[in-house]
Amino acid sequence: MAKAKKPTGGLRYIGNGAFLPQVPARDLTPAEVEKYAGLLAEAEASGSKALLYVAADETPAQAEEVVGEGNQDVVEVANG
């Protein structure tokens, strides 16, 4: 599995309604990425961040590679 590159700017939301508590379920600016860094780091450690955000400068094909087809069921469960 390819290691996700560390974003240098904002993050693009791909969560389809799923969210992390206390983190907006939308695209995040670089300043917001810094503001929510602790929560995003926890989500990354658990694997949740890859299901919700990708680097804003990634193409859709790169985002799919990070998220992977097998994770779609997890998003649906987390979404309720």
Residue range 18-75, pLDDT digits in tens: 999 999 999 999 999 999 999 999 998 988 888 899 999 876 665 555 455 444 433 3
Please report the DSSP string for 33-44 in residue order.
HHHTHHHHHHHH
Whether residue 77 is predicted with pLDDT greater than 70 in this model: the reply is no
pLDDT score for 61:
61
pTM: 0.62
Residues with Cβ < 8 Å from 65, sequence gap 6 or more?
2
pLDDT score for 6:
52
The Cα-based distances of 22 to 5, 35, 37, 64 in angstroms read 24, 11, 12, 25
Extract the tokens encoding 24.
């907006």
H or E element at residue 55: strand 53-55
